[in-house]
Structures are given as C-alpha cells and as structure tokens.
C-alpha cells in the first residue's frame, strides 16, 4: 500500500470513528463503511493504536474508538503513526552522472527543504478540519459534553492532551460550557 493510500485510508477510518463516536466499531464495520481492505485496515488500526490515536477493546461490545478529539489529531501525527519513511522519499544517488557536478547534494538539500515544508503543512491540518471540509459531522464533542453535563464534579481540562476528566454531576447549569466547547 502506498504512503498516500495508507494516509487516506487511515483518515477515512478515523473520520468514521469520529462520526460514530462513542460506539466502538469493529474492523469489519469500518472496512465495509470505508471500502478499505479489512486486512490492510487492521494493520493501519494497529499502528494507530500504538500511537494512541485509537484504542481497541475486546469482547462482544468491543471495537475501535478514537482516544482524542478530532480537533487535536494532526495529519502529521496520523502519517507518522502509519509510515516509517519520509513523505517525500526519492533516491538521489541514482541521478549522478560522469560529470563534475554535485547533483546529489543539490537534490538532497532540495528534498530536505520540501520535506520540512510538507511536515509543517501537515501539522496545521487537523482531522476535524478534514471532516469539516468533507461535511462529516463528528459526534466526539457532543458525547464529551454530554458526559460532563451528567457528572457531579467539576471537570478538569488537561491542556497537554486536551482531554477532560470528570465524575458525576447533578446540576448542568454549573457546567462551564464556553470553556469546555473551546477546549474540545
């Protein structure tokens, strides 16, 4: 599977998980919905699980779920989880001839610069922005807000991971809706 196919397949699977959150989905359900080969999809989901982007739960109600909000999952994070090589990978040594010019150094520098540009652009693209572009609705935010609204203790927002911890809440009028919405 090529790098671009792996990336687009991973994004399709993650969008489906965000769209169906919090219901876990099996690899078969994800494959059927996204049109991705089930065997290749399981390999991608395993890599995404190792990178702590998704989690896998065993059992009759098991399946895959997003571990983070689509708002904070960056395209570069997805790419780095599924690929072990650079996005712009070319063999420069093969272009050298018998002349005295250093083509290899020139193209190594050029491709390094392009690689940095690609990586910088990928860090600015979130899974949520892709979903918004494709008009895919994420249920991730609504589920987190519902959980907070039905808990009794003040939620704690962890800025490092943009995750929220909470317990039971009885009075939803005390929920800090604005700050929660902005941090999801």
Which range among 59-68, 137-146, 173-182 shows the weakest confidence by mean pLDDT? Answer: 173-182
Percent of the chain clearing pLDDT 90 (strictly above):
45
160 lies in some domain: yes
Q: Are residues 22 and 55 in the same domain?
A: yes
* More reliable by pLDDT, 115 or 67: 67
Q: Residue 158's beta-bridge partner residues? A: 163
23 lies in some domain: yes
157 lies in some domain: yes
Query: Count of domains in the chain?
Result: 3
Q: What average pLDDT does the chain have? A: 78
Longest dimension (CA), the chain: 78
Beta strands in the chain (DSSP E): 54-57, 63-66, 156-158, 163-165
Q: Are residues 117 and 130 in the same domain?
A: no
Domain that holds residue 106: 93-123
20 lies in some domain: yes
Whether 82 has a pLDDT exceeding 70, the answer reads yes
Place of tokens 């018998």: 98
């Amino acid at each position: 599977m090529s790098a671009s196919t792996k990336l687009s397949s991973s994004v399709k699977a993650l969008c489906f998980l965000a769209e169906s959150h919090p219901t876990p989905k099996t690899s078969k359900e994800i494959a059927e919905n996204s049109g991705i080969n089930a065997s290749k999809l399981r390999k991608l989901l395993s890599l995404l699980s190792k990178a702590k982007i998704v989690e896998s739960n065993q059992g009759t109600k098991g399946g895959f779920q997003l571990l983070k909000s689509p708002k904070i999952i960056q395209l570069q994070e997805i790419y780095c989880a599924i690929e072990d090589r650079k996005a712009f990978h070319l063999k420069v040594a093969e272009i050298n001839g018998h002349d005295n010019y250093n083509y290899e150094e020139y193209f190594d520098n050029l491709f390094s610069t392009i690689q940095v540009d690609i990586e910088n652009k990928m860090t600015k693209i979130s899974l949520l922005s892709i979903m918004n572009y494709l008009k895919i609705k994420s249920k991730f935010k609504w589920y987190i807000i519902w959980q907070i609204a039905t808990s009794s203790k003040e939620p704690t927002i962890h800025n490092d991971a943009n995750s929220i911890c909470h317990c039971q809440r009885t009075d939803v009028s005390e929920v800090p809706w604005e700050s929660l919405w902005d941090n999801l």
